[in-house]
Amino acid sequence: MTDPGRIRANNEDTIAIDAPLGLALLADGMGGYNGGEVASGMAIALLQASFGRWLAHAGPQANPRAIRRALQAGTDEANAAILEAGVANTQLQGMGTTLVLAAFAPQRVIVGHIGDSRCYRLRDRQLELLTRDHSLLQEQLDAGTITLEQAAQSPHRNLVTRALGIERHVELELHEHDVQVDDLFLLCSDGLSEMVSDEQIFTLLLQDGALAEKASILVAAANENGGRDNISVVLAYGAARTSPGLKPE
């Protein structure tokens, strides 16, 4: 689910779920005019198409190392295309986008990200953040130059240190995680994570209901807390549910 929020007139986020590919994607665009929308849309469309072509050739039994290479290759292709579009159209100059993705396979998932869009995993009533923001704020926290309390009030909260479409090369940070039955994965833009605390996200994800209901609840919570940015969430179970009568969603 994606929503413009309460402040912005347009939505620069793009999301996609490709069940046959086992791929979930989310991008949060940035840039003047309509640049953010263009950058995020290009990133998702190109990466989805690239990974689809590769998987059709490699087959479903491709090993994790090959999957990582394919995801980075697709990211490189999208990065170059966004850069070239910005050069060709002055109104799109300087546009870029974050990216977070999850590529699912039996008993495992490969999570990749660029920027401050995030991936969480809810398992056994514990919420774990699987990504680490590529942001100035995170670097300051890691260096110990600011506290968590100071970070919450920082004017630099939205300054990312890595994004698609800004430089000639960008590394997609990739990590592999095991997947257990009932694991619930959440991909989100900072429009959610900036407006809703991890504690509140955890509480809302624990509520009963289908994934569409949980997505609506999360977006509503971000809007209730101010909705200062576009809000996007992607929810996916990593393996079949154990509850009687429920199928994987």
Bin 59: left if φ > 0, else alpha if -120 < ψ < 50, else beta. Answer: left
Average pLDDT (94-113) is 95
Q: In terms of CATH architecture, what is 2-237?
A: 4-Layer Sandwich (3.60)
Q: Any residues with CB less than 8 A from the CB of 3 and at least 6 apart, and which?
A: 11, 219, 222, 223, 227, 230, 231, 232
pLDDT tens-digit map of 148-192: 777 777 766 778 999 999 999 999 999 999 999 999 999 999 999
Q: Any residues with CB less than 8 A from the CB of 49 and at least 6 apart, and which?
A: none
pLDDT at 198: 96
Instruction: Kindly report the pTM of this predicted structure.
Output: 0.91
Average pLDDT (7-31) is 95
**Encoded tokens for 3:** 């929503």
pLDDT tens-digit map of 111-141: 999 999 999 999 999 999 999 999 888 778 7
* Residues shown for the chain: 249
Q: Which helix (H) or strand (E) holds 61?
A: none
**Encoded tokens for 113:** 């990200």
Tell me the pLDDT of the chain averaged across its residues: 91
- In the sheet with 2-3, reading across from the earlier edge strand, the strands are 2-3, 231-237, 184-188, 118-123, 126-129
CA dist 102 → 25, 85, 99, 144, 234 (Å): 7, 26, 10, 30, 10
CA dist 196 → 49, 144, 164 (Å): 32, 24, 25
> CA 29, CA 27: separation in Å to the nearest integer?
6
Average pLDDT (24-33) is 89
3-class DSSP state for residue 76?
Answer: helix
pLDDT category of residue 33 using cuts at 50, 70 and 90: low
> CA 174, CA 70: separation in Å to the nearest integer?
12
> CA 129, CA 88: separation in Å to the nearest integer?
38
